């Protein structure tokens, strides 16, 4: 479609290097492939594919090789940012060889894209170091006047689930001071919460995505899995900054999912 970019966001696949490993009863590689198949049936081909973190559960080279296999014949560029379960150097090394990009800034179809690393070493919590905030500010200052999408793994402010909001970007005030001072920022896209999220912060669209494996029940005080199926987010970005978006899910939850899992 003229003047539009079609994007597919896959998030929180939690892949293992060991084919026998399971989490919450799930073979996460199987559910990941099923969600990609759904995208191929409904929203293919995209112009861009974005992977917004927790691509691996065990941060092994083999887990990233398995991820790269799925996109070995991708019709579109694939960009990947790290989540708290990822090992960034390992991820970059393996995926780089597979031509999955880990660039933190790029331009495509009239839009600017800026990816942030919100990880805290040895912690599931999100935080943007001073160097990361300085990078964001500089990247926005140097970007052209086109609309801009910010990608980050952790939620940029609380989503209403007390337990997982302890892991939101801890210095979100500083983040939003930078973003709100740049009129061309149109969207913040994130993962981590394993649930659909769609909100506005001033004029900026704030979007979270379901996981390709298990989902977290929204608005809960404590950890709880949701009976929603795995899925992905699609976006249509217009060159004038407008955004169309939605969620597509598998028709049912995987039969092996253990909804009584107390954590992972």
List the one residue out of 151, 211, 232 whose CA is nearest residue 187: 151
With a cut of 60, say whether residue 39 has pLDDT above it: yes
The residue-averaged pLDDT of 110-116 equals 97
- The pair of structure tokens assigned to 206 is 């704030």
pLDDT at 264 (0 to 100): 82
- 147 pLDDT band (50/70/90 cuts)? very high
Cis peptide bond upstream of 235, omega within 30:
no
Does residue 34 lie within any of the structural domains?
yes
Matching residue, tokens 């150097």: 89
Does 50 map to a domain? yes
Q: How many CB atoms lie within 10 A of CB 173?
A: 9
- CATH number of the domain at 40, please: 3.60.21.10
57 lies in some domain = yes
pLDDT in tens, 171-191: 999 999 999 999 999 999 999
As a whole number, the mean pLDDT across the chain is 96
Burial class of 178 by CB neighbour count within 10 A (0 to 12, 13 to 18, 19+)? middle
The first and second tokens of residue 105, run together, are 């800034």
Global confidence as pTM: 0.97
pLDDT at 116 over 90: yes
Can you tell me the mean pLDDT for 16-29?
97
* Structural domain includes residue 261: no
Do 154 and 126 touch, CB atoms closer than 8 A?
Answer: yes
| pLDDT, position 1 | 44
What is the predicted pLDDT for the residue at 21?
A: 97
Residue 262 lies inside a defined structural domain of this protein: no
Range of the domain at 244: 4-249
Residue 152 lies in a domain: yes
Q: How many domains does the chain have?
A: 1
């Amino acid at each position: 479609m003229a003047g539009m970019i079609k994007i597919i966001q896959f998030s929180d696949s939690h892949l293992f290097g060991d084919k026998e490993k399971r989490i919450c009863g799930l073979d996460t590689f199987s559910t990941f492939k099923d969600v990609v198949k759904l995208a191929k049936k409904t929203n293919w081909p995209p112009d861009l594919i974005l992977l917004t973190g927790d691509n691996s559960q065990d941060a092994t080279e083999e887990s990233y090789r398995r991820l790269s296999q799925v996109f070995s014949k991708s019709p579109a560029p694939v960009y990947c940012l790290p989540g708290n379960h990822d090992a960034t150097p390992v991820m970059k090394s393996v995926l780089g060889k597979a031509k999955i990009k880990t660039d933190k800034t790029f331009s495509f179809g009239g839009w600017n894209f800026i990816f942030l690393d919100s990880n805290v070493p040895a912690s599931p919590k999100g935080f943007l170091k001073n160097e990361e905030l300085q990078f964001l500010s500089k990247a926005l200052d140097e970007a052209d006047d086109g609309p801009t999408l910010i990608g980050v793994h952790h939620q940029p402010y609380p989503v209403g689930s007390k337990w997982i909001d302890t892991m939101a970007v801890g210095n979100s005030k500083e983040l939003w001071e930078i973003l709100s001072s740049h009129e061309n920022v149109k969207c913040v896209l994130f993962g981590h919460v394993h649930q659909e999220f769609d909100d506005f912060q001033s004029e900026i669209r704030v979007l979270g995505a379901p996981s390709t494996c298990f989902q977290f029940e929204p608005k809960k005080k404590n950890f709880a899995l949701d009976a929603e199926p795995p899925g992905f987010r699609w976006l249509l970005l217009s060159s004038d900054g407008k955004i169309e978006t939605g969620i597509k899910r598998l028709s049912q939850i995987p039969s092996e999912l253990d909804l009584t899992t107390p954590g992972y």
